[in-house]
A and B are shown apart, each in its own frame.
Chain A
Amino acid sequence: MQNLIIAGREFSSRLFLGTGKFRSNQEMQQAIEASGTEMVTLAMKRVEMGDANDDMLAHIPHQSLQLLPNTSGVRDAEEAVFAAQLAREAFGTNWLKLEIHPDPRYLLPDSVETLKATEALAKMGFVVLPYCQADPTLCKRLEEAGAAAVMPLGAPIGTNRGLRTRDFLSIIIEQATVPVVVDAGIGAPSHAAEAMEMGASACLVNTAIAVAGQPAAMAAAFKKAVEAGREAYEAGLPAQIHSLEAQASSPLTSFLND
């Protein structure tokens, strides 16, 4: 399996992991280890008086992993730029998962604000990975604006519905000159394998692993699926035959009755 390069950093794992929704920090840590991931997403929240201190960072091997803080909670490009500066300070990285989804019902990214923020943040030196609609035109525009990768969605966040945007993801992958990371909606290892077989550069998975009966075991299953899908893509998948008629795999020499 070829290594993946984003903004000059090499990744031997093509599975990125979100750290939300785990039942405990310990389960999260076990899942990170089992997944073999080299990049994890994180979020930020406002500090309130009397907040209990959560030691979640102690459960993330942040020396060896690339941290990818997100901007979840921002409503527009201006807020995203401010959040990015806070994230850079808090996490000590200029890598950023840009996500601007003002509508809490579907959490769908606002394409106009995402494009605006990508342009501004790339100019400020951030490595911007925007979570975006599976819109091939938008993905080209994000690339031109300086995105280090694009992260189109398969289905709304946390729905586990798989690659509902399949055809558009294919067009995005065909046209992209930056890595394409399928983010959101991946609910089963088979979905991840499918994305990788299509030629996606990587998958970002969170809910499907975090809320599984055994998160670490599920993380291991996703690791295999992502590797299998990628290896199949690199091996060159055979074309699908349109007709339903069989194409024989064995020679049809009639040696029994002739």
Chain B
Amino acid sequence: MQVFLNNEALQTEAATVSELSEQLSLPAMGVALAVDGKLVPKASWADTPLHEGARLTVIKAVCGG
């Protein structure tokens, strides 16, 4: 199916957020993710299914002032 990662189209076979995080090799720390504008806590990633056209916001920690 197709989802949108930070507004970019992405083809994925992942059924859940947690599978997608593996596909993206997200770092273990300093990451947050929202589906359709709603934050999904990391503890719920495995139970959160992805759907066609889902809009994902994924951010990670970087240096900054």
Contacts and interface: CB of A to CB of B under 8 A. Distances in A.
Interface in A128-164: 157-158
A3 B37 CA distance: 40
Given A47-B26, A49-B5, A87 B32 contact: yes
Given A82-B34, A86-B34, A157 B59 contact: no
Nearest to A41: B65
Interface residues on chain B, size class: 20 to 34
B31 A43 contact: no
Interface in B17-63: 24-27, 29-34, 37, 39, 41-42, 57-63
Interface string A79-100: 0001001110111000000000
Contacts of B8: 48-49
B47 to A, nearest CB: 16
B26 to A, nearest CB: 7
B6 A44 contact: no
Contacts of A21: 63, 65
A18 interface: yes
Contacts of B61: 42-44, 56-57, 69, 90-91
18 contacts: A19-B63, A19-B64, A20-B65, A41-B64, A42-B62, A42-B63, A44-B32, A44-B61, A47-B58, A49-B5, A49-B8, A70-B64, A86-B34, A86-B39, A89-B32, A89-B41, A204-B65, A210-B65
Interface of B: 5-6, 8, 10, 24-27, 29-34, 37, 39, 41-42, 57-65
